[in-house]
Chains A and B, each alone.
Chain A
Amino acid sequence: EAQVTQNPRYLITVTGKKLTVTCSQNMNHEYMSWYRQDPGLGLRQIYYSMNVEVTDKGDVPEGYKVSRKEKRNFPLILESPSPNQTSLYFCASSLVAGNTIYFGEGSWLTVV
């Protein structure tokens, strides 16, 4: 089944404790992206990757890192999480940029 899988789905962590949200797609998509969703603000793009080893900032990249060492994986790293990073995070992929975006199920992250 074609899908975008992200883990963990739910996480409560403490301020400053590094964490990684993994994202994997099995559709051989070139393009992958991370978004965060906050009430009343829609989805805001954090980082995106056009292909392996190619990443670029979205609208809200501060406090986040990403890497794209393999085509299928695009982890989101919070080096030192803060409470303002409490949010619902979505990973997404598409065949190429501009095509239909397929989203993962979302990861609820709470930083206390």
Chain B
Amino acid sequence: AQKVTQAQTEISVVEKEDVTLDCVYETRDTTYYLFWYKQPPSGELVFLIRRNSFDEQNEISGRYSWNFQKSTSSFNFTITASQVVDSAVYFCALSEASNAGKSTFGDGTTLTVKP
């Protein structure tokens, strides 16, 4: 059974600090997909990144970076030089290729960036 754990329920940082959001997943599949989504206070869900299990390269997009490590079943998300606009709930999600219709989300991490 697939499972996603975001152990950090809430994180609070001061603007310009770096912050890492943890995501640990469980799956028996060798082919799977991992995602991160952002939910700002306005409520919509914004896609951030999709990574398949065969691509372990880390990804950087502006101030955002993702560290995918199959050895530890983790897909962590780092925001560099955080800004107030980064305040949101962030969700990590998993979908297995053998049952791609099912997707499992973590409980989310609420990030508050204070000015």
Q: How far is the CA of A43 from the CA of B44 in the complex (A)?
A: 13
CA separation between A45 and B44, bound complex, in Å?
17
Chain A 44-58 interface 0/1 with B at a Cβ cutoff of 8 Å (1 = within)? 110011100000101
**How many residue pairs between the two chains, A and B, have CB atoms under 8 Å in the bound complex?**
58
Residues of B within 8 A of A35 (CB): 105
* Sample of 13 more A-B contacts, CB < 8 Å, known A35-B105, A40-B107, A42-B106: A31-B100, A33-B101, A33-B103, A43-B93, A59-B102, A90-B45, A100-B35, A100-B47, A102-B47, A103-B37, A103-B44, A106-B43, A106-B44
Contact of B50 among A58, A59, A100 (CB under 8 A): A100
Q: For A56, give its contact among B50, B101, B105 (CB under 8 Å).
A: B101
**CB of A19 within 8 A of chain B?**
no
> Does B112 count as interface, using CB distance less than 8 angstroms?
no
Q: Roughly how many angstroms separate A6 CA and B97 CA in the complex, as a whole number?
A: 27
Do B105 and A98 touch across chains, with their CB atoms under 8 A apart? no
Binary B-proximity of A71-112 (CB < 8 A = 1, otherwise 0): 000000000000000001010000011111111011000000
- The verdict on B33 contacting chain A, using a C-beta distance below 8 Å, is yes
Residue contact A97 to B47, C-beta cutoff 8 Å: no
Contact of A58 among B47, B97, B100, B102 (CB under 8 A): B102
Partner of B91, one of A33, A42, A88, A97: A42
Residues of chain B lying within 8 A (CB to CB) of residue A44:
105
* Cross-chain contact A101 with B44 (CB below 8 angstroms): no
A99 touches B105 (CB 8 A): no
Q: Give a binary string over B40-53; 1 marks a CB under 8 Å from any A CB, 0 the rest.
A: 00011101001000
A98, chain B: closest CB distance, angstroms = 4
Give the docked Cα–Cα distance between A45 and B23 (Å): 19
Q: Does B95 contact A (CB under 8 A)?
A: yes
Q: Which chain A positions have C-beta within 8 A of B105?
A: 35, 42-44
A49–B100 CA distance with the chains assembled, in angstroms: 11
A97-B106 contact given A48-B101, A105-B43, A106-B44, CB 8 Å threshold: no
